[in-house]
Amino acid sequence: MNPSVIQRAFEDLVNATWREKLLQRLHSLNGSILWIPAFMARGGKERVEWVNELILKHRVNVRTAYPSLRLLHAVRGYWLTNKVHIKRPTTGLLMYTLATRFCNQIYLYGFWPFPLDQNQNPVKYHYYDSLKYGYTSQASPHTMPLEFKALKSLHEQGALKLTVGQCDGAT
């Protein structure tokens, strides 16, 4: 969970209604590990403290994990070594990279770094907001087209299953 989710999808928890919506979402993660890159962006630490307070106060059944900046640099270094010149890995690429250490099969959905899908329908930048963002913008902290190209290549080699259209429910 990128801490920006609290700001963009849950209105910075400004009132009880938004806190309850977040609590419902957290409860739906029952038994999961909530990966929170709290220290990778400005404002993250404060929002993470709010989430932690809710988790503890309401005894939500999730475990939290906080990656260090060293991990971010190690992941970026890994991809640079493999000639993928990313600026800062997306949360998705970070999670994929970690999954390669623990999983025999990896299925990815939602990695599509373009404003329109294959049927020319608009694609959200994040699943939880309506942010309009230049996917190829130099201002972006991410290099999404390069990430996609690398993941597509891994898909073609059989190292992962990348779904870019509608899920068929079989995977």
What is the distance between the alpha carbons of residues 125 and 129, in angstroms, rounded to a whole number?
Answer: 8
Number of Cβ within a 10 Å radius of residue 49 = 12
Strands (E), 47-163: 63-65, 107-109, 161-163
Catalytic residue among 27, 73, 142, 155: 142
Query: Whose structure tokens read 């870019």?
Result: 164
Q: Is 142 a catalytic residue?
A: yes
Helix (H, G, I), strand (E, B) or coil at 116: strand
Could you give the residue numbers annotated as active site?
Answer: 142
